[in-house]
């Protein structure tokens, strides 16, 4: 579905005016995403999400996806390194999980339907890279009790805890290997003092519904969760220890955003605090076609969480993007009309580009000025042009690169063109033009001639999962 074309129509008025404040939330526009689980690792935020299928009328979810960013506005698409098929005992429902890092490995805990019992169970994927590929760590469910939404927290004493549950809330102590546990799963008492009073609906004992996200900050343990149904809001409780007793603390994010579920993920990164959630904000969006978004927030004195509202601007950028190092084409702040796919050369590429589509990267520091632009492109048709524009899709044009036909969608060549007038820091728009139909694919780009930007480029960019899809259309 060319969802981006609809978006382009909606946003063209705003983007046509250079310097106009612009929506950059939700943070992914190429597909519908849900159930955010951020992880800070080596100066980047890795974001693990589910994938709502286009036009879905249920939680029809077959795979999980990974994104990453060093600045919280330009997000690199790492594709899908784990799916229902990763777990040969599972049949469906790639629902809400979380990835944690321990001893050189990334463990991705996910709820998925156990084929044999028909019950929801918790599986564990494992990888040595934050972007995968992930394999089934144990070849069977870690726990199976029909409940969902795992979150894993590792305390300062290195004891790890797995929490999960809907309609109940459970925890179990994980062993140091992260793929087995000690003792039995224990139910956390759902008292109104701990998890709030549900009004107008007696189906559950408290406000707790699902989606726990447990972490510790300044000695206080937090459980941020989806409350009430439906529609959900995000609430939280705190405790003096990892197993409670929990005290209900109130609302984090009110019911907003045209999705009847919401799902929290909370991190500290680069001195700021960030709240990830989902809504139905993209065109065609709703309860089963959700999109992940992010807001920056500041804890109140004493560590309480302020009320956070959904915005279309999202988090401010951390630092600036360096155009003089190789950047992936699938590193995007906002786009219109394009999609991504695994690239035959590794990683992902931008594809399904048609006349008038664009991708934007935000806060690009050209410093004293770029003199040329190189980009890796492929085209099974006759190519087209990439217009380099500043601060708007119709903003100042600082260069144009002609893309030739290369004989295949994955037959790559590098083209270079001169650049004039790109100095200082700007949002950079790649405006794609040409004839009709699909024009070309783009794998990466890089400017030369100056120095600028203070963020590291993504050094894990080509560890994606190329597949047969890369060579087809
Ligand atoms: O995405 C499927 C389910 O919807 C998740 O597991 C829940 O948290 C809710 O967001």
- Domain boundaries along the sequence of the chain: 25-303, 327-462
Q: Is the CB of 93 under 6 A from ligand 1?
A: no
CATH of domain 25-303: 2.115.10.20
- Res 440: pLDDT: 98
> 65 alpha carbon to ligand 1 midpoint, in Å?
15
Q: Fold identical between 25-303 and 327-462?
A: no
- Res 455: pLDDT: 66
Per-residue burial over 369-387, b if 16 or more Cβ lie within 10 Å, else e, is: bbeebbbbbbbbbebbbbb
- Res 202: pLDDT: 84
Q: In testing the pocket of ligand 1, which one of 31, 32, 34, 257 has its CB within 8 Å of the most ligand atoms?
A: 34
> 96 alpha carbon to ligand 1 midpoint, in Å?
5
- Res 451: pLDDT: 76
The per-residue pLDDT string of the chain (473 residues; one tens digit each, 9 = 90 and over) reads: 344 434 433 443 333 333 334 569 999 999 999 999 999 999 999 999 999 999 999 999 999 999 999 999 999 999 999 999 999 999 999 999 999 999 999 999 999 999 999 999 999 999 999 999 999 999 999 999 999 999 999 999 999 999 999 999 999 999 999 999 999 999 999 999 999 999 988 889 999 999 999 999 999 999 999 999 999 999 999 999 999 999 999 999 999 999 999 999 999 999 999 999 999 999 999 999 999 999 999 999 999 999 999 999 999 999 999 999 999 999 999 999 999 999 999 999 999 999 999 999 999 999 999 999 999 999 999 999 999 999 999 999 999 999 999 999 999 999 999 999 999 999 999 999 999 999 999 999 999 997 766 666 654 444 333 232 233 33
> 318 alpha carbon to ligand 1 midpoint, in Å?
29
Q: Would residue 354 show up in a list of annotated catalytic residues for this protein? A: no
- Res 5: pLDDT: 35
Nearest-atom number in ligand 1 for the CA of 111 is: 6
Q: Is the CB of 248 under 6 A from ligand 1?
A: no
Residue with CA closest to ligand 1 atom 1: 95
Say what the pTM is. 0.92
Q: Is the CB of 428 under 6 A from ligand 1?
A: no
- Res 456: pLDDT: 63
Q: Is the CB of 263 under 6 A from ligand 1?
A: yes
Q: Would residue 460 show up in a list of annotated catalytic residues for this protein? A: no
- Indicate the CATH number of 327-462 among 3.40.50.10860, 2.40.110.10, 2.60.120.260, 3.30.470.30: 2.60.120.260
């Amino acid at each position: 579905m060319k969802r981006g074309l609809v978006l382009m129509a909606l946003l063209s008025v705003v983007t046509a005016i250079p310097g106009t404040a612009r929506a950059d939330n939700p943070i992914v526009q190429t597909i519908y995403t849900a159930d955010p689980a951020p992880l800070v690792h080596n100066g980047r935020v890795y974001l693990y999400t589910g994938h709502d299928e286009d036009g879905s009328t249920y939680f029809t979810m077959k795979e999980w996806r990974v994104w990453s960013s060093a600045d919280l506005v330009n997000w690199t698409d790492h594709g899908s390194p784990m799916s229902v098929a990763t777990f040969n005992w599972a049949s469906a429902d790639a629902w809400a999980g979380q990835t944690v890092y321990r001893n050189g490995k990334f463990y991705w805990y996910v709820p998925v339907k156990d084929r044999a019992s028909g019950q929801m169970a918790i599986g564990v994927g494992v990888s040595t890279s934050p972007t995968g590929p992930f394999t089934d760590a144990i070849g069977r469910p870690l726990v199976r009790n029909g409940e969902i939404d795992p979150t894993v927290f590792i305390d300062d004493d290195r004891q790890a805890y797995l929490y999960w549950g809907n309609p109940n809330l459970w925890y179990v102590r994980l062993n140091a290997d992260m793929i087995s546990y000690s003792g039995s799963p224990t139910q956390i008492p759902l008292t109104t003092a701990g998890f709030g009073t549900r009004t107008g609906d007696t189906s559950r004992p408290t406000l707790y519904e699902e989606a726990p996200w447990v972490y510790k900050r300044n000695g206080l343990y937090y459980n941020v969760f989806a409350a009430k149904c439906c529609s959900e809001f995000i609430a939280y409780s705190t405790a003096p220890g990892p197993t409670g007793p929990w005290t209900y603390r109130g609302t984090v994010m009110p019911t907003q955003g045209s999705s009847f579920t919401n799902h929290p993920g909370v991190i500290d990164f680069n001195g700021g605090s960030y709240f990830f959630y989902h809504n139905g904000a993209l065109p065609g969006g709703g309860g089963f076609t959700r999109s992940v978004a992010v807001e920056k927030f500041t804890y109140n004195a004493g560590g309480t969480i302020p009320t956070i509202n959904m915005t279309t601007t999202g988090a401010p950028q951390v630092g600036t993007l360096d155009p003089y190092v190789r950047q992936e084409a699938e590193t995007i702040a906002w786009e219109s009309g394009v999609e991504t796919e695994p690239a035959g050369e590794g990683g992902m590429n931008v594809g399904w580009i048609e006349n008038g589509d664009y991708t934007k990267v935000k806060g690009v520091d050209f410093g004293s000025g770029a003199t040329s632009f190189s980009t890796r492109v492929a085209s099974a048709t006759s190519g087209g042009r990439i217009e380099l524009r500043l601060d708007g899709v119709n903003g100042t044009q600082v260069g144009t690169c002609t893309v030739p036909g290369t004989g295949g969608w994955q037959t790559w060549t590098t083209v270079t063109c001169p650049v004039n007038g790109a100095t200082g820091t700007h949002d950079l728009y790649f405006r794609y033009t040409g004839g009709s139909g699909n024009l070309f694919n783009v794998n990466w780009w890089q400017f030369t001639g100056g120095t600028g930007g203070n963020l590291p480029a993504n050094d894990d960019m080509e560890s994606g999962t190329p597949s047969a899809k890369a060579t087809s259309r």
